[in-house]
Structure 1
Amino acid sequence: MKYAYKDKEKTQLVQAENAEQGVVYYCENIDCPARVHIRALDSTKISAYFANYEKFPHSKNCPYKSSYIDIKKYQTKDFDLNLFFKRLFSPEIKSNSKNIINEKSSSNTMVQNTVPLPYSLLKLYKYLLNSPFDDIFCERKISDILVDLRSEHIYTKVIAGEKLLQAKLVYKNLQDKILTFRYPISEKRKNNNRC
Protein backbone atom coordinates (compact mmCIF):
# COMPACT_ATOMS: atom_id res chain seq x y z
CA MET A 1 0.00 0.00 0.00
CA LYS A 2 1.55 3.28 -1.09
CA TYR A 3 -0.99 5.66 0.47
CA ALA A 4 -2.70 5.81 3.86
CA TYR A 5 -4.78 8.23 5.86
CA LYS A 6 -3.20 10.35 8.58
CA ASP A 7 -6.42 10.64 10.58
CA LYS A 8 -9.13 8.28 11.83
CA GLU A 9 -11.79 10.27 9.95
CA LYS A 10 -9.89 9.46 6.73
CA THR A 11 -9.69 12.94 5.27
CA GLN A 12 -5.92 13.45 4.75
CA LEU A 13 -3.89 11.09 2.56
CA VAL A 14 -0.15 10.67 2.85
CA GLN A 15 2.19 8.96 0.40
CA ALA A 16 4.49 6.29 1.89
CA GLU A 17 7.64 8.25 1.06
CA ASN A 18 6.32 11.20 3.10
CA ALA A 19 5.21 9.18 6.13
CA GLU A 20 6.88 9.22 9.52
CA GLN A 21 8.27 6.27 11.43
CA GLY A 22 6.33 5.29 14.57
CA VAL A 23 3.06 6.99 13.53
CA VAL A 24 -0.21 5.06 13.20
CA TYR A 25 -1.97 5.53 9.85
CA TYR A 26 -5.24 4.14 8.51
CA CYS A 27 -5.97 2.01 5.45
CA GLU A 28 -6.70 3.89 2.22
CA ASN A 29 -9.96 1.94 1.81
CA ILE A 30 -12.57 3.96 3.67
CA ASP A 31 -14.50 0.79 4.63
CA CYS A 32 -11.44 -0.95 6.08
CA PRO A 33 -10.61 -0.56 9.80
CA ALA A 34 -6.93 -1.56 9.40
CA ARG A 35 -4.30 0.49 11.12
CA VAL A 36 -1.03 0.63 9.25
CA HIS A 37 2.56 1.73 9.75
CA ILE A 38 5.38 2.66 7.41
CA ARG A 39 7.90 0.00 6.33
CA ALA A 40 11.20 0.24 4.44
CA LEU A 41 11.28 4.02 4.71
CA ASP A 42 15.08 4.19 4.64
CA SER A 43 15.69 1.18 2.42
CA THR A 44 17.81 1.43 -0.68
CA LYS A 45 16.55 -1.94 -1.94
CA ILE A 46 12.76 -1.57 -1.86
CA SER A 47 10.25 1.28 -1.96
CA ALA A 48 8.57 2.46 1.22
CA TYR A 49 5.11 0.99 1.82
CA PHE A 50 2.42 0.70 4.50
CA ALA A 51 1.81 -2.59 6.29
CA ASN A 52 -1.00 -3.32 8.71
CA TYR A 53 -0.56 -4.03 12.39
CA GLU A 54 -1.31 -7.68 13.19
CA LYS A 55 -3.95 -6.69 15.78
CA PHE A 56 -5.69 -4.37 13.27
CA PRO A 57 -5.95 -6.38 10.02
CA HIS A 58 -7.57 -5.34 6.74
CA SER A 59 -11.22 -6.22 6.24
CA LYS A 60 -12.02 -9.39 4.30
CA ASN A 61 -12.74 -7.63 0.99
CA CYS A 62 -10.19 -4.83 1.23
CA PRO A 63 -8.27 -4.48 -2.06
CA TYR A 64 -5.14 -3.52 -0.09
CA LYS A 65 -5.12 -6.72 1.97
CA SER A 66 -2.33 -8.25 -0.09
CA SER A 67 -1.59 -5.66 -2.73
CA TYR A 68 2.02 -4.70 -2.06
CA ILE A 69 4.71 -5.46 -4.62
CA ASP A 70 8.03 -3.71 -4.91
CA ILE A 71 7.85 -1.66 -8.09
CA LYS A 72 11.63 -1.14 -8.11
CA LYS A 73 12.19 -4.76 -9.16
CA TYR A 74 10.19 -4.42 -12.40
CA GLN A 75 11.53 -3.24 -15.73
CA THR A 76 8.82 -1.38 -17.61
CA LYS A 77 10.79 0.59 -20.20
CA ASP A 78 10.04 -1.94 -22.95
CA PHE A 79 6.56 -2.82 -21.72
CA ASP A 80 3.85 -2.36 -24.34
CA LEU A 81 0.56 -1.52 -22.62
CA ASN A 82 -1.46 -1.61 -25.84
CA LEU A 83 -0.15 -5.09 -26.64
CA PHE A 84 -0.89 -6.17 -23.07
CA PHE A 85 -4.54 -5.11 -23.42
CA LYS A 86 -4.73 -6.70 -26.88
CA ARG A 87 -3.47 -10.00 -25.43
CA LEU A 88 -5.87 -9.72 -22.54
CA PHE A 89 -8.90 -9.40 -24.80
CA SER A 90 -7.67 -11.75 -27.55
CA PRO A 91 -6.76 -15.13 -26.06
CA GLU A 92 -5.44 -16.37 -29.42
CA ILE A 93 -2.48 -13.94 -29.13
CA LYS A 94 0.07 -15.61 -26.89
CA SER A 95 3.64 -14.96 -25.88
CA ASN A 96 6.31 -17.64 -25.65
CA SER A 97 7.61 -16.53 -22.26
CA LYS A 98 6.67 -14.38 -19.33
CA ASN A 99 9.81 -12.31 -19.88
CA ILE A 100 9.30 -11.56 -23.57
CA ILE A 101 7.23 -8.68 -24.76
CA ASN A 102 6.32 -8.93 -28.44
CA GLU A 103 7.43 -5.45 -29.15
CA LYS A 104 9.54 -4.66 -32.20
CA SER A 105 12.76 -2.84 -31.58
CA SER A 106 14.40 -0.65 -34.19
CA SER A 107 16.03 -3.75 -35.73
CA ASN A 108 12.73 -5.69 -35.88
CA THR A 109 13.88 -8.27 -33.34
CA MET A 110 12.17 -9.46 -30.20
CA VAL A 111 13.13 -7.65 -27.02
CA GLN A 112 14.38 -10.03 -24.33
CA ASN A 113 14.14 -8.63 -20.80
CA THR A 114 16.42 -9.90 -18.08
CA VAL A 115 14.36 -8.39 -15.26
CA PRO A 116 10.71 -9.19 -14.56
CA LEU A 117 7.83 -7.39 -16.23
CA PRO A 118 4.34 -7.02 -14.77
CA TYR A 119 3.16 -9.67 -17.25
CA SER A 120 -0.11 -10.78 -15.60
CA LEU A 121 -3.24 -8.74 -14.99
CA LEU A 122 -2.80 -9.09 -11.22
CA LYS A 123 0.86 -8.03 -11.32
CA LEU A 124 0.08 -5.05 -13.54
CA TYR A 125 -2.78 -4.06 -11.21
CA LYS A 126 -0.51 -4.31 -8.15
CA TYR A 127 2.29 -2.46 -9.94
CA LEU A 128 -0.03 0.43 -10.81
CA LEU A 129 -1.66 0.40 -7.37
CA ASN A 130 1.76 0.74 -5.73
CA SER A 131 2.99 3.46 -8.09
CA PRO A 132 2.54 7.16 -7.38
CA PHE A 133 -0.75 8.41 -8.82
CA ASP A 134 0.86 10.97 -11.14
CA ASP A 135 3.66 8.74 -12.44
CA ILE A 136 3.93 7.99 -16.15
CA PHE A 137 3.70 4.36 -17.30
CA CYS A 138 3.95 3.54 -21.01
CA GLU A 139 3.53 7.21 -21.90
CA ARG A 140 0.26 7.44 -19.94
CA LYS A 141 -0.45 8.72 -16.44
CA ILE A 142 -1.23 5.98 -13.91
CA SER A 143 -4.55 7.75 -13.30
CA ASP A 144 -5.40 7.21 -17.01
CA ILE A 145 -4.81 3.46 -16.72
CA LEU A 146 -5.99 2.47 -13.24
CA VAL A 147 -9.33 3.67 -11.96
CA ASP A 148 -9.12 3.19 -8.20
CA LEU A 149 -9.75 5.01 -4.92
CA ARG A 150 -7.25 7.72 -5.86
CA SER A 151 -9.00 8.62 -9.12
CA GLU A 152 -12.69 8.50 -8.27
CA HIS A 153 -12.80 12.32 -8.25
CA ILE A 154 -11.75 12.17 -11.93
CA TYR A 155 -14.17 9.46 -13.09
CA THR A 156 -17.47 10.66 -11.63
CA LYS A 157 -19.74 10.06 -14.63
CA VAL A 158 -18.14 7.90 -17.34
CA ILE A 159 -15.17 5.55 -17.54
CA ALA A 160 -14.19 5.05 -21.18
CA GLY A 161 -11.35 3.26 -22.92
CA GLU A 162 -9.06 0.45 -21.83
CA LYS A 163 -8.56 0.82 -18.10
CA LEU A 164 -8.14 -1.39 -15.08
CA LEU A 165 -11.02 -0.75 -12.73
CA GLN A 166 -11.02 -1.33 -8.98
CA ALA A 167 -14.65 -2.22 -8.32
CA LYS A 168 -16.72 -4.39 -6.01
CA LEU A 169 -18.72 -7.35 -7.30
CA VAL A 170 -22.32 -6.85 -6.13
CA TYR A 171 -24.25 -9.32 -8.30
CA LYS A 172 -23.35 -12.52 -10.10
CA ASN A 173 -25.60 -14.63 -12.33
CA LEU A 174 -23.51 -17.32 -14.01
CA GLN A 175 -26.44 -18.83 -15.86
CA ASP A 176 -27.12 -15.61 -17.78
CA LYS A 177 -23.43 -14.59 -17.70
CA ILE A 178 -24.14 -11.33 -15.85
CA LEU A 179 -21.74 -9.62 -13.48
CA THR A 180 -22.58 -6.30 -11.85
CA PHE A 181 -19.91 -4.17 -10.18
CA ARG A 182 -20.08 -1.06 -8.01
CA TYR A 183 -17.70 1.81 -8.50
CA PRO A 184 -16.47 3.46 -6.40
CA ILE A 185 -15.98 0.44 -4.18
CA SER A 186 -17.31 2.27 -1.13
CA GLU A 187 -20.75 3.79 -0.82
CA LYS A 188 -19.31 6.16 1.81
CA ARG A 189 -16.88 7.64 -0.71
CA LYS A 190 -19.43 8.79 -3.26
CA ASN A 191 -19.52 12.36 -1.95
CA ASN A 192 -16.13 12.49 -0.25
CA ASN A 193 -13.59 15.05 -1.34
CA ARG A 194 -10.04 13.82 -1.06
CA CYS A 195 -7.12 15.92 0.03
Structure 2
Amino acid sequence: MAKYAFRDEQRKEIIYSNEAVKEDRNTAFYCPNADCNAQLYICAIDGSKAAYFRATKPQHPHIPNCLYGTRSIEFDENQFDESRFDYDKAMESLFGLTDTAIASNKSGEHSIGEPQKHPPRTIRQMYSMCKSLPVKSKYGNKEIGEMLLDDRSEYRYPKGCFGNRIIEATVKKRFYDSEKKQIYLTAPVTSKKYSFVLDFSDNDTYKFIRNEIFNNSDKIIIVGGKWKPTDKYNYFISSVNGRKQVAIIKCFGSLT
Protein backbone atom coordinates (compact mmCIF):
# COMPACT_ATOMS: atom_id res chain seq x y z
CA MET A 1 0.00 0.00 0.00
CA ALA A 2 1.38 3.41 -0.98
CA LYS A 3 0.17 6.98 -0.52
CA TYR A 4 2.24 8.21 -3.44
CA ALA A 5 3.56 6.81 -6.71
CA PHE A 6 5.20 7.98 -9.92
CA ARG A 7 3.62 8.77 -13.26
CA ASP A 8 6.69 7.64 -15.19
CA GLU A 9 8.93 4.59 -15.04
CA GLN A 10 11.98 6.84 -14.54
CA ARG A 11 10.44 8.07 -11.24
CA LYS A 12 10.65 11.75 -12.09
CA GLU A 13 7.04 12.88 -11.60
CA ILE A 14 5.39 12.19 -8.24
CA ILE A 15 1.64 11.87 -7.83
CA TYR A 16 -0.15 11.64 -4.47
CA SER A 17 -3.14 9.40 -3.84
CA ASN A 18 -5.46 12.34 -3.10
CA GLU A 19 -4.57 13.74 -6.53
CA ALA A 20 -4.89 10.44 -8.36
CA VAL A 21 -8.54 9.92 -7.36
CA LYS A 22 -9.35 12.43 -10.12
CA GLU A 23 -7.55 10.25 -12.69
CA ASP A 24 -8.90 7.40 -14.77
CA ARG A 25 -8.99 4.30 -12.55
CA ASN A 26 -7.32 2.35 -15.37
CA THR A 27 -4.23 4.59 -15.38
CA ALA A 28 -1.11 2.74 -14.24
CA PHE A 29 1.49 4.37 -11.97
CA TYR A 30 4.84 3.12 -10.70
CA CYS A 31 5.95 1.87 -7.29
CA PRO A 32 7.98 4.27 -5.06
CA ASN A 33 10.57 1.50 -4.73
CA ALA A 34 12.95 2.08 -7.65
CA ASP A 35 13.88 -1.62 -7.66
CA CYS A 36 10.25 -2.71 -7.99
CA ASN A 37 8.51 -2.68 -11.37
CA ALA A 38 5.00 -3.04 -9.98
CA GLN A 39 2.31 -1.05 -11.74
CA LEU A 40 -0.05 0.61 -9.28
CA TYR A 41 -3.66 1.69 -9.59
CA ILE A 42 -5.60 4.10 -7.42
CA CYS A 43 -8.02 2.59 -4.92
CA ALA A 44 -10.24 4.28 -2.38
CA ILE A 45 -12.03 3.39 0.83
CA ASP A 46 -14.79 5.69 2.10
CA GLY A 47 -13.92 8.39 -0.40
CA SER A 48 -10.74 10.15 -1.41
CA LYS A 49 -9.40 10.75 2.12
CA ALA A 50 -8.47 7.08 2.37
CA ALA A 51 -7.22 6.71 -1.20
CA TYR A 52 -4.08 4.67 -1.82
CA PHE A 53 -2.14 2.95 -4.60
CA ARG A 54 -2.19 -0.81 -5.01
CA ALA A 55 -0.78 -3.35 -7.47
CA THR A 56 -4.08 -4.87 -8.59
CA LYS A 57 -2.86 -6.56 -11.79
CA PRO A 58 -1.25 -9.99 -11.27
CA GLN A 59 0.97 -9.52 -14.33
CA HIS A 60 2.68 -6.49 -12.72
CA PRO A 61 3.12 -7.39 -9.01
CA HIS A 62 5.50 -6.05 -6.40
CA ILE A 63 8.83 -7.81 -6.07
CA PRO A 64 9.21 -10.08 -3.02
CA ASN A 65 9.64 -8.13 0.24
CA CYS A 66 8.77 -4.76 -1.30
CA LEU A 67 7.41 -2.83 1.67
CA TYR A 68 5.01 -0.88 -0.55
CA GLY A 69 3.26 -4.12 -1.39
CA THR A 70 2.43 -4.95 2.22
CA ARG A 71 0.66 -3.52 5.24
CA SER A 72 3.95 -3.32 7.14
CA ILE A 73 4.31 0.44 6.74
CA GLU A 74 0.71 1.62 6.67
CA PHE A 75 0.30 5.18 7.94
CA ASP A 76 -3.11 6.81 8.26
CA GLU A 77 -2.45 10.54 8.48
CA ASN A 78 -6.02 11.12 9.65
CA GLN A 79 -5.20 9.44 12.97
CA PHE A 80 -2.36 11.83 13.84
CA ASP A 81 -1.91 15.54 14.51
CA GLU A 82 0.82 16.81 12.21
CA SER A 83 0.66 20.34 13.67
CA ARG A 84 1.96 19.00 17.01
CA PHE A 85 4.79 16.95 15.55
CA ASP A 86 8.27 18.00 16.67
CA TYR A 87 10.80 15.55 15.28
CA ASP A 88 13.68 16.33 17.64
CA LYS A 89 11.44 16.18 20.70
CA ALA A 90 10.01 12.86 19.52
CA MET A 91 13.52 11.48 19.07
CA GLU A 92 14.66 12.75 22.47
CA SER A 93 11.65 11.01 23.98
CA LEU A 94 12.82 7.74 22.45
CA PHE A 95 16.25 8.23 24.01
CA GLY A 96 15.18 9.45 27.43
CA LEU A 97 11.95 7.89 28.66
CA THR A 98 11.84 4.36 30.03
CA ASP A 99 9.74 1.72 28.28
CA THR A 100 7.36 1.78 31.23
CA ALA A 101 6.94 5.54 30.99
CA ILE A 102 6.17 5.32 27.28
CA ALA A 103 3.59 2.60 27.84
CA SER A 104 1.84 4.58 30.58
CA ASN A 105 1.97 7.93 28.80
CA LYS A 106 -1.58 8.33 27.50
CA SER A 107 -1.58 12.08 27.07
CA GLY A 108 -3.71 11.75 23.95
CA GLU A 109 -6.59 10.14 25.85
CA HIS A 110 -9.32 11.76 27.90
CA SER A 111 -11.80 10.30 30.32
CA ILE A 112 -14.67 12.14 28.62
CA GLY A 113 -15.25 12.40 24.88
CA GLU A 114 -13.25 11.04 21.98
CA PRO A 115 -9.48 10.50 22.22
CA GLN A 116 -7.45 13.49 21.10
CA LYS A 117 -5.16 13.00 18.11
CA HIS A 118 -1.48 12.94 18.95
CA PRO A 119 1.56 13.35 16.69
CA PRO A 120 3.60 10.32 15.60
CA ARG A 121 5.81 9.40 18.56
CA THR A 122 6.89 5.75 18.41
CA ILE A 123 9.73 4.56 16.20
CA ARG A 124 7.26 2.58 14.05
CA GLN A 125 4.87 5.50 13.65
CA MET A 126 7.64 7.88 12.61
CA TYR A 127 9.17 5.32 10.25
CA SER A 128 5.83 4.53 8.58
CA MET A 129 5.12 8.24 8.21
CA CYS A 130 8.50 8.76 6.53
CA LYS A 131 8.02 5.82 4.16
CA SER A 132 4.55 7.04 3.18
CA LEU A 133 5.92 10.31 1.76
CA PRO A 134 8.61 11.24 -0.80
CA VAL A 135 11.96 12.24 0.71
CA LYS A 136 11.60 15.88 -0.35
CA SER A 137 8.16 16.23 1.23
CA LYS A 138 7.73 17.75 4.67
CA TYR A 139 5.90 16.55 7.75
CA GLY A 140 5.72 18.94 10.67
CA ASN A 141 8.03 21.37 8.82
CA LYS A 142 10.77 18.72 8.60
CA GLU A 143 11.83 17.08 5.34
CA ILE A 144 11.49 13.31 5.24
CA GLY A 145 15.07 12.94 4.04
CA GLU A 146 16.28 14.77 7.15
CA MET A 147 14.57 12.25 9.41
CA LEU A 148 15.19 8.90 7.73
CA LEU A 149 18.26 7.43 6.06
CA ASP A 150 17.10 4.87 3.50
CA ASP A 151 17.80 4.02 -0.15
CA ARG A 152 15.78 7.02 -1.33
CA SER A 153 17.54 9.59 0.87
CA GLU A 154 21.11 8.28 0.64
CA TYR A 155 22.09 11.12 -1.71
CA ARG A 156 21.54 13.54 1.19
CA TYR A 157 24.24 11.85 3.27
CA PRO A 158 27.45 12.00 1.19
CA LYS A 159 29.72 12.33 4.25
CA GLY A 160 27.84 10.19 6.74
CA CYS A 161 24.94 10.13 9.17
CA PHE A 162 25.10 12.56 12.09
CA GLY A 163 22.73 13.59 14.87
CA ASN A 164 19.14 12.49 15.41
CA ARG A 165 18.27 10.13 12.58
CA ILE A 166 16.23 7.00 11.99
CA ILE A 167 18.12 4.45 9.92
CA GLU A 168 16.68 1.65 7.77
CA ALA A 169 19.28 -1.08 8.13
CA THR A 170 20.20 -4.74 7.81
CA VAL A 171 22.56 -6.88 9.87
CA LYS A 172 26.26 -7.28 9.20
CA LYS A 173 27.78 -10.77 8.96
CA ARG A 174 29.16 -10.51 12.48
CA PHE A 175 26.46 -8.44 14.05
CA TYR A 176 27.12 -8.47 17.80
CA ASP A 177 29.83 -8.42 20.46
CA SER A 178 28.54 -9.51 23.87
CA GLU A 179 31.66 -8.36 25.72
CA LYS A 180 31.20 -4.81 24.44
CA LYS A 181 27.38 -5.07 24.47
CA GLN A 182 27.26 -3.80 20.88
CA ILE A 183 25.22 -4.66 17.77
CA TYR A 184 26.43 -3.91 14.24
CA LEU A 185 24.19 -2.93 11.32
CA THR A 186 24.65 -1.50 7.85
CA ALA A 187 22.63 1.06 5.90
CA PRO A 188 21.17 1.95 3.49
CA VAL A 189 19.78 -1.48 2.62
CA THR A 190 20.97 -1.60 -0.99
CA SER A 191 24.36 0.12 -0.99
CA LYS A 192 25.37 -0.77 2.60
CA LYS A 193 27.58 2.31 2.47
CA TYR A 194 27.69 3.01 6.20
CA SER A 195 28.16 0.84 9.28
CA PHE A 196 26.31 1.55 12.52
CA VAL A 197 27.17 0.53 16.06
CA LEU A 198 24.39 0.20 18.64
CA ASP A 199 26.01 0.67 22.05
CA PHE A 200 24.15 -0.63 25.12
CA SER A 201 24.74 0.10 28.79
CA ASP A 202 21.96 -2.20 30.06
CA ASN A 203 22.69 -5.90 29.60
CA ASP A 204 19.04 -7.00 29.65
CA THR A 205 18.13 -4.54 26.90
CA TYR A 206 21.15 -5.65 24.88
CA LYS A 207 20.25 -9.35 25.18
CA PHE A 208 16.61 -8.77 24.28
CA ILE A 209 17.37 -6.76 21.13
CA ARG A 210 20.26 -9.05 20.13
CA ASN A 211 17.97 -12.09 20.34
CA GLU A 212 15.18 -10.35 18.43
CA ILE A 213 17.57 -9.41 15.63
CA PHE A 214 19.15 -12.89 15.62
CA ASN A 215 15.70 -14.43 15.08
CA ASN A 216 14.91 -11.93 12.32
CA SER A 217 18.31 -11.49 10.71
CA ASP A 218 16.81 -11.38 7.20
CA LYS A 219 14.46 -8.51 8.07
CA ILE A 220 14.79 -4.73 7.99
CA ILE A 221 15.88 -3.19 11.29
CA ILE A 222 14.99 0.41 12.09
CA VAL A 223 16.86 2.33 14.77
CA GLY A 224 16.38 5.80 16.17
CA GLY A 225 19.78 7.07 17.23
CA LYS A 226 21.88 10.12 17.98
CA TRP A 227 24.73 9.19 15.66
CA LYS A 228 28.37 10.20 16.05
CA PRO A 229 31.41 9.20 13.98
CA THR A 230 33.84 6.60 15.33
CA ASP A 231 37.55 6.25 14.61
CA LYS A 232 36.68 3.86 11.75
CA TYR A 233 35.88 5.24 8.30
CA ASN A 234 32.12 5.36 7.60
CA TYR A 235 31.28 3.92 11.03
CA PHE A 236 28.78 5.71 13.29
CA ILE A 237 27.72 4.94 16.85
CA SER A 238 24.73 5.71 19.07
CA SER A 239 23.73 4.76 22.58
CA VAL A 240 20.61 2.61 22.84
CA ASN A 241 18.88 3.27 26.14
CA GLY A 242 15.76 1.16 25.67
CA ARG A 243 13.79 -1.17 23.44
CA LYS A 244 11.69 1.65 22.02
CA GLN A 245 14.63 2.85 19.88
CA VAL A 246 14.67 -0.34 17.78
CA ALA A 247 12.03 -2.14 15.73
CA ILE A 248 11.98 -4.97 13.21
CA ILE A 249 9.98 -4.51 10.02
CA LYS A 250 8.46 -7.70 8.69
CA CYS A 251 6.83 -7.86 5.28
CA PHE A 252 3.37 -9.18 6.09
CA GLY A 253 -0.15 -8.76 4.77
CA SER A 254 0.62 -8.86 1.04
CA LEU A 255 -1.52 -6.54 -1.07
CA THR A 256 -0.33 -7.81 -4.46
- TM-score of the superposed pair, with normalisation by structure 1: 0.68
**Range that drifts further, 35-44 or 51-60:** 35-44
2:64 is aligned to 60
1:112-151 alignment to 2 at 5 Å? 114-131=116-133, 133-137=136-140, 139-151=141-153
Greater percentage in helix: 2
The C-alpha deviation readout for 1:55-89, integer Å capped at 9, x for no partner, is: 24433332323323221221133344333212322
* Residue identity opposite 2:7 in structure 1: K
State the Cα RMSD in Å.
3.2
Which residues of structure 1 form unaligned runs of 5+?
102-112, 188-195
* Residue identity opposite 1:32 in structure 2: C
The C-alpha deviation readout for 1:136-168, integer Å capped at 9, x for no partner, is: 41x43333212344433322332221112234x
Q: Output the CA distance in 2 between the equivalents of 1:161 and 1:22.
A: 44
* Residue identity opposite 2:12 in structure 1: Q
1:193 is aligned to none
Q: 2:187 aligns with which of 182, 188, 192?
A: 182
2:52 is aligned to 49
2:165 aligned with 1:163: yes
Q: Output the CA distance in 1 between the equivalents of 2:183 and 2:67.
A: 22
- Residue 44 of structure 1, CA deviation: 4.7
Q: Output the CA distance in 1 between the equivalents of 2:168 and 2:13.
A: 18
Q: Output the CA distance in 2 between the equivalents of 1:40 and 1:11.
A: 23
Q: Output the CA distance in 2 between the equivalents of 1:175 and 1:163.
A: 21
**Cα distance, 1:182–1:141 mapped onto 2, change above 3 Å:** closer
**Cα distance, 1:147–1:26 mapped onto 2, change above 3 Å:** same
2:102 is aligned to 95
The C-alpha deviation readout for 1:83-137, integer Å capped at 9, x for no partner, is: 3212322353723545427xxxxxxxxxxx6125423211111122224533241
Contact 1:98 1:119 in 2 (8 A): no
Greater percentage in strand: 2
* Residue identity opposite 1:38 in structure 2: I
2:23 aligned with 1:22: no
Contact 1:34 1:53 in 2 (8 A): no
Q: Output the CA distance in 1 between the equivalents of 2:168 and 2:54.
A: 20
Q: Percent identity?
A: 27
Helix, strand or coil at the partner of 2:125: helix
Helix, strand or coil at the partner of 1:153: helix
The C-alpha deviation readout for 1:5-36, integer Å capped at 9, x for no partner, is: 3334x343422244433211221112223221
Q: 1:72 aligns with which of 78, 83, 86?
A: 78
Contact 2:175 2:185 in 1 (8 A): no
Q: Output the CA distance in 1 between the equivalents of 2:38 and 2:164.
A: 31
Helix, strand or coil at the partner of 2:164: coil
1:107 is aligned to none
Which residues of structure 2 form unaligned runs of 5+?
109-114, 192-256
Q: Output the CA distance in 2 between the equivalents of 1:120 and 1:38.
A: 29
* Residue identity opposite 1:2 in structure 2: K
